[in-house]
């Protein structure tokens, strides 16, 4: 938050087309990892900037700044996402929105909370009244742009509206909190999804890959929503799925 006031002097590197990293990404990641390591020295990490390290039994999956492109433009939508996986199963998740100072948390079997208050996905049942979040495919995922645009067209005309804020972890947290009724995106990374996936599941929602399977953490293709909206979105997406997108 302090560095929002000095965006012009930040060091910014380009990892790939439309993919940026700042010194703040690295600083935040080091701080998070150092804090966790003090309490859990035997745990491993999968972090966006530093990659995989340590043991795999307990694995912390970290995005220190989800929405870096937003951040470097001063667009106030970005978040920190941290998930803990034990032997391949997500057990805890946290998404923090520093602009709104909102803390979304979830633990397996204990529900999801926003600032300590229980949250649930919305009760929306009708697609025509729903608000849906998404993210645009870019980088290597541009090969699916035409498929995505067909999905976008079908969902746009079937719903009350679509939003693309630009920080997937926060979008997923908003589904868990009932602010969005559904969400889909192509080509995300595990650190974009880990905490948000558990938040939605613990808030009573559905999460899968685009074909309804359980490969989203591996494929990077995710669909989420309230139980009723999820099922309707699944049907809309099906005609546009190639084998690579399932």
* Average pLDDT of the segment spanning 196-205: 98
Is the CB of residue 220 less than 8 Å from the CB of residue 117? no
Q: Tokens 């998930």 — which residue?
A: 83
At 1 the pLDDT is 84
Whether 13 has a pLDDT exceeding 70, the answer reads no
Residue 233 has pLDDT above 60, yes or no: yes
Is the pLDDT at 14 greater than 80? The verdict is: no
Output the pLDDT for position 21: 64
Report the CATH fold assignment for 127-240.
D-Maltodextrin-Binding Protein; domain 2 (3.40.190)
Q: Where are the domains of the chain?
A: 2-118, 127-240
Would you state the pLDDT for residue 15?
60
What per-residue confidence (pLDDT) applies to 20?
61
Q: What is the tens place of the pLDDT at every residue in 73-122?
A: 889 999 999 999 999 999 999 999 999 999 999 999 999 999 999 999 99
Max Cα-Cα span within the chain: 51
Helix axes 168-176, 190-202, angle to 10 degrees: 0
In contact, 111 and 121? CB cutoff 8 Å = no
Mean pLDDT estimate for the chain:
93
The answer to whether the beta carbons of residues 148 and 187 sit under 8 Å apart is no
Check residue 19 and give its pLDDT: 58
The per-residue pLDDT for 92 is 98
How many CB atoms sit inside 10 A of residue 26's CB? 17
- What proportion of the chain, given as a percentage, has pLDDT over 70? 96
Mean per-residue pLDDT, 154-174: 98
Nearest to 151 by CA among 218, 242, 66, 212: 242
Residue 16 clears pLDDT 60, i.e. is over it: no
Which has the higher per-residue pLDDT, 16 or 84? 84
Superfamily of domain 2-118: Fructose-1,6-Bisphosphatase, subunit A, domain 1 (3.30.540.10)
**Can you tell me the distance from the alpha carbon of 172 to that of 118, in angstroms, rounded to the nearest whole number?**
16
> What pLDDT does 114 receive?
98
pLDDT of residue 142: 86
């Amino acid at each position: 938050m302090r560095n929002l006031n000095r965006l012009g002097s930040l060091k910014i590197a380009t990892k790939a087309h439309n993919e940026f990293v700042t010194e703040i990404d690295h600083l935040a990641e080091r701080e998070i990892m150092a804090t966790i390591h003090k309490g859990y020295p035997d745990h491993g990490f999968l972090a966006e900037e530093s990659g995989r390290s340590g043991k795999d039994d307990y694995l912390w999956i970290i995005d220190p700044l989800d929405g870096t492109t937003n951040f470097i433009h001063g667009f106030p939508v970005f978040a920190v996402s941290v998930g803990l996986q034990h032997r391949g199963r997500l057990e805890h998740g946290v998404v923090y929105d520093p602009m709104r100072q909102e803390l979304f948390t979830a633990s397996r079997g204990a529900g999801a909370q926003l600032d300590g208050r229980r949250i649930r996905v919305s009760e929306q049942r009708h697609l025509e009244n729903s608000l849906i979040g998404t993210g645009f495919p870019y980088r290597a995922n541009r090969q699916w742009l035409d498929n995505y645009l067909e999905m976008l067209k079908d969902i746009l005309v079937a719903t009350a509206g679509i939003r693309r804020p630009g920080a997937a972890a926060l979008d997923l947290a908003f589904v868990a909190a009932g602010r969005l009724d559904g969400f889909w995106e192509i080509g995300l990374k595990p650190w974009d999804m880990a905490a948000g996936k558990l938040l939605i599941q613990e808030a009573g929602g559905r999460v899968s890959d685009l074909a309804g399977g359980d490969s989203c953490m591996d494929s990077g293709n995710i669909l989420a929503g309230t139980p009723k909206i999820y099922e309707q979105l699944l049907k809309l997406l099906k005609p546009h799925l190639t084998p690579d997108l399932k």
